[in-house]
Amino acid sequence: MALFKNNTIFNFRFRTYFIPLFFYLLTVFFFCSPFLGLKFLPPKMSVLIAIIILTLKQLFNIFLFNCKLNVKDDEFLRYRYCISGTKSLSPACNSCHVESLLDIIFSNSPDIITFKDSKLKYAMCSKKFACLAGKKDSSEIIGKTIKDFLSDKNQANILKSNDRYVMKKRVSRTCFYTDYSSSPELKYEVVSTPIISNNEVVGVLTLSRDVTDTCNLKDSLELSNSQLVTLLNNTPMFAYIVDTSGNYILGNDKANRLFVDGVDYLLTGENIQVNPEIFKEEVMAEDVIIKANKQNLQFEKRFTTLDGDRHWYSICKTPLFDDKGNLYAISTFGRSIEQEKRILEQRETYIATLSHDLKTPTIAQVRALELMLSGQFGEFNQEQKNMLKLTLDSCNYMYDMVYTLLSTYKFENGDISLNFSSLNFTKVVKESIKEVLNLAQENSVTVDFSEKSVYKIVADKIEMKRVVINLLSNAINYAFQNSRVSISVKISGKNLEFYVKNSSPYIEPSAMNGLFRKYVSHSDKFNKVGVGLGLYLSKKIVEAHGGKIIAKSFKNQSNIFGFSIPLDCSFDSKPEYLVGIIN
């Protein structure tokens, strides 16, 4: 290295090699002089002088060793002591390979490594540092300070101050340096450590690494965390996490107030005050279910306030697992649904009142028209009979629409209690066909059902008959004139499958998915009258029996609607929409 061509190295090797050699020669001369016939000194005196010279040589070695560790011109020499070859001081020096090891480390390390002497001049640096400084190799950096090649003087002063702090305090220190000259900016973590010898700081060893990606990721995570906290704190719900022992870990502002003060501030401006201790007990009781099942839990419950009122809340609890699959915490989200419940209650009251007000006079009209058509009030001519039949059909349609509306809301609220019994499904289908024959004749449609087999199932006869009638009516209403509606029934495993096929316009998949939603139909497109509840109610009834609705449309102008239900529906579980409520 160029470093070893200067006078300091020459003086160092002179002291290391030539002076000890001079002592050795002088010792040999005096020790051997009596045997060589040189009698300028008595033999005993020559031996004594030789012993004294050996002693002086050892003392000089000790002095030389201390000099090697306290070279003032270049502190780097202390780390090159191993190449001096002074075996008397270090017999293992020729086998430790320190020089080659340092060269490998400084040349191949991906990190930035530098060593500065006590004057904070660079004595050694890694290849990575030389490249970043814009130099070809380390020889252009050795002997210089950081200010000699760093363009940003402010950063240079910061790094130099950091080194001086390390030398003065004799402690390691970590700082961060930003290279503003690069694009994009690069950030480095700088760790400086003092090198102490004989209780004296002789230099500073610095290790640096590029932490730009780490800092950017940290900033991104902090920003995301800040955004998440802001989002959670401004949502109209409380959110918190507790451990398996029920200890509160963290939560948003609403959860903190609820746990500490027992207060929940609603969007309506109303404040809900509950007993926080009772609230915590209820939370722990609910979490027992989570710990037992280790599954999500969604339910509605009522909070009892300090003044005795009860307010509805929707709660969602989720178990949290570690990498080994062990449950370690439970997260909870909850929001007030009191306003929704009040609106629902008002709607139900309105629907019930409206339905009752419509249903009662409609039934009276139907009965009166049936009596008139029976001839009990005298005979009518044909035109009068036709007019009465049209009026009766209109009243029956009104009655069915009111009944459908009421049934839909009852199914949605879980108020329907299905009456399961063994029934002949084939008979149910035939009875349904009779009820829609007039409709089929009006639309010039023929209904085919030639099944002779008897299919026994356990289901609610009234509700299943309503489904069959709805599907048949739907098929007849939208079928082409002078076409056929085919009905088929079959057993598939433990399920009964019912299909109604008609010739009618092709239904796009996007439209098919919406047919079973509330108030959705194709009535306007095909100049039909309807409220869009028939298929929706049919789907609810089938799901309540543990089955599923079937709908297929083909581009050859044919459609199939139907359902599949268990042969014994009484043992099937409730559908998903019947949500359990905790009062």
pLDDT in tens, 186-213: 888 888 888 887 788 888 888 888 888 8
CATH number for position 459:
3.30.565.10
Domain membership of residue 368 as a residue range: 342-410
Confidence of residue 265 (pLDDT cuts 50, 70, 90): confident
Evaluate if pTM is beyond 0.75: no
Same domain (yes/no): 272, 291 = yes
477 falls within a domain = yes
* pLDDT > 70 fraction of the chain, expressed in percent and rounded: 75
What is the spatial distance between Cα 186 and Cα 152, in angstroms, rounded to a whole number? 14
Higher pLDDT, 63 or 158: 158
* Burial letters 448-472, b for 16+ CB under 10 A, else e: ebeeeeebebbbbbebbbbbbbbbb
Of 386, 410, 434, the one marking the end of a domain is: 410
Same domain (yes/no): 350, 250 = no
Residues in the chain, overall count: 583
Summarised one tens digit per residue, pLDDT across range 244-254 is 988 999 899 98
Same domain (yes/no): 401, 286 = no
Does residue 378 surpass a pLDDT of 50? yes
Does residue 499 surpass a pLDDT of 90? yes
Helix (H, G, I), strand (E, B) or coil at 186: strand
CATH number for position 176:
3.30.450.20
pLDDT at 316: 93
What's at 27, amino acid-wise? Answer: T
pLDDT at 135: 81
580 falls within a domain = no
Does residue 475 surpass a pLDDT of 50? yes
Does residue 17 surpass a pLDDT of 90? no
How far from 424 is each of 464, 469, 547, CA to CA, in Å?
11, 16, 18
What is the spatial distance between Cα 85 and Cα 89, in angstroms, rounded to a whole number? 9
Same domain (yes/no): 159, 298 = no
Same domain (yes/no): 520, 481 = yes
pLDDT at 39: 60
pLDDT at 347: 75
Higher pLDDT, 349 or 437: 437
Mean pLDDT over 492-515 rounds to: 88
User: 81-90: long-range contacts at Cβ-Cβ below 8 A with a sequence spacing of 24 or more?
Assistant: 84/12, 84/13, 84/16, 85/16, 85/17, 86/16, 86/20, 86/61, 88/20, 88/61, 89/61, 89/64, 89/65
443 falls within a domain = yes
| Contact (CB, 8 A) for 362 and 378 | no
What is the spatial distance between Cα 426 and Cα 429, in angstroms, rounded to a whole number? 5
- Number of structural domains, the chain? 5
What is the spatial distance between Cα 257 and Cα 279, in angstroms, rounded to a whole number? 12
Which of 101-105, 381-385, 429-433, 574-578 has the highest average model confidence (pLDDT)?
429-433
Which of 33-42, 70-79, 234-243, 361-370 has the highest average model confidence (pLDDT)?
234-243
353 falls within a domain = yes
Same domain (yes/no): 24, 77 = yes
Confidence of residue 456 (pLDDT cuts 50, 70, 90): very high
Mean pLDDT over 515-543 rounds to: 65
Summarised one tens digit per residue, pLDDT across range 121-130 is 888 888 888 8
458 falls within a domain = yes
What is the spatial distance between Cα 512 and Cα 520, in angstroms, rounded to a whole number? 10
466 falls within a domain = yes
Of 367, 383, 410, the one marking the end of a domain is: 410
Mean pLDDT over 1-18 rounds to: 45
Higher pLDDT, 430 or 397: 430
Same domain (yes/no): 498, 542 = yes
Mean pLDDT over 117-139 rounds to: 83
Does residue 576 surpass a pLDDT of 50? no
Of 61, 84, 107, the one marking the end of a domain is: 84
Mean pLDDT of the chain: 78
392 falls within a domain = yes
Summarised one tens digit per residue, pLDDT across range 552-572 is 999 898 999 999 999 987 755
* pLDDT > 90 fraction of the chain, expressed in percent and rounded: 16
Cross-strand partners of 35: none
Same domain (yes/no): 567, 425 = yes
Summarised one tens digit per residue, pLDDT across range 276-287 is 888 888 888 889
578 falls within a domain = no
Same domain (yes/no): 140, 78 = no
Summarised one tens digit per residue, pLDDT across range 304-313 is 888 888 888 9
Cross-strand partners of 336: 313
Same domain (yes/no): 257, 295 = yes
Same domain (yes/no): 426, 550 = yes
Same domain (yes/no): 304, 372 = no
